[in-house]
Amino acid sequence: MEERPFTLTRPDGELIRGEVRIPSDGEHPNPEGVPNTAVVILHGFKGFRRWGFFPHLARSLAAAGHAVITFDFSLNGVGAGGRDFDELEAFARNTFTRELDEVAQVVEALEGGDLPAPVPDRIGLLGHSRGGGTAILAAAELESSVDALVSWAAVATFDRWGEEVKNEWRERGRIHIPNARTGQDMPLDIGLLEDLERNRDRLDILAAAGRVAAPWCIIHGTDDESVSAEDAEQLHAAAPGAELELISGAGHTFGATHPFQDQPAHLAAAIGRTRAHFEQALTVGASSRPTGSSPSGRPGRTSQGPLRSASSSPDSEAGKVRSDTDEV
């Protein structure tokens, strides 16, 4: 397995750091030996590309023949070391729309040959929790580029605070979210809430779910302690053509912890279903792309398309902020 690092620069100078994983020579199932499909993985709130199951998931998908891109959102609070929340002031400034713009930047770089990966014929998105919500929005916005979608434990809305919390936030300009794993108090500036309120239409996950054209598999644990399985049911109601896979007894991270150890049974089930979905949507059901078309074979975005400006929020239940899980 080859792991190739990359860095992309945001308009404000902040960095998106990530890796591309591809099978080494002789390991690739494609007879030509080069991946012609790619999967981009999005982490969630209090997450990062090297958290828990993400490297394992990326290796598993790469072993199935895809180039797999994992990356840290530029203001996720994890610095150059890629393993610790050592940039909490950056974390405080992050927004929802900023992350959505960064997905577009990564996909455009992939399409344009600006990542250390072969330019793919077809692209899949996979997002966990808040990253699942972002993946749904991106799949709707980047319809001409995204050919398959998988959401794990995805939120159906980013608006997960009660009015009491919002009022305190407005008064103080900042709230803090405990990180149970690290013991840190993670700051969130009022810009996150303002971003959500200014961009409600763009950040309406359920509305975007109804516009997703790519084959979509919704995967959720029935015992998710952070994002209720009701969110999955709402997403499926908004997109009845999507496949709904409820994993009995699974929690928010499908049994995985950080640091990652052995693969739990629930995680194995989620990965197995994910591999099957991408196999069908990106490989078995794929048609070759005409020269000069987008990766999906549809006219639309080009690698030089404009990026929208940035903006904000966390995963919590209404009226309170959740802090009992590592990665949301």
- Is 313 in contact with 158 (CB distance < 8 Å)? yes
pLDDT at site 320: 33
Identify which of 326, 328, 320 has the alpha carbon closest to the alpha carbon of residue 160: 320
Q: How far apart are the C-alpha atoms of 107 and 112, rounded to whole Å?
A: 8
pTM tops 0.85, yes or no: yes
pLDDT at site 302: 34
- Is 65 in contact with 29 (CB distance < 8 Å)? yes
- Spacing of C-alpha 182 from chain mean position: 22
Query: Which residues lie across from 41 on neighbouring strands?
Result: 70, 126
pLDDT at site 27: 63
Q: Give mean pLDDT in consecutive 10-residue pieces for the chain, a chain of 328 residues.
A: 96 98 73 84 97 97 96 97 94 98 98 97 98 98 98 98 97 95 95 98 98 98 98 98 98 96 96 98 67 37 30 32 42
Q: How far apart are the C-alpha atoms of 277 and 305, rounded to whole Å?
A: 28
Helices 96-111, 190-198: crossing angle, 10 deg rounding:
70
Q: How far apart are the C-alpha atoms of 191 and 95, rounded to whole Å?
A: 7
Q: How far apart are the C-alpha atoms of 79 and 312, rounded to whole Å?
A: 19
Per the omega criterion (within 30 degrees of 0), is the bond before 187 cis? no
Q: How far apart are the C-alpha atoms of 302 and 319, rounded to whole Å?
A: 42
pLDDT at site 294: 38
Q: Which CATH number fits domain 2-284: 3.40.50.1820, 3.40.50.720, 3.30.43.10, 3.40.50.300?
A: 3.40.50.1820
pLDDT at site 307: 29
160's tokens: 């997960």
Identify which of 313, 320, 319, 317 has the alpha carbon closest to the alpha carbon of residue 45: 313
Domains of the chain by residue range:
2-284
Q: How far apart are the C-alpha atoms of 168 and 299, rounded to whole Å?
A: 47
Q: How far apart are the C-alpha atoms of 180 and 185, rounded to whole Å?
A: 9
- Spacing of C-alpha 131 from chain mean position: 4
HSE, CB side, 13 Å, CA atoms: give it for residue 102. 32
Count of CB atoms situated within 10 Å of the CB of 113: 11
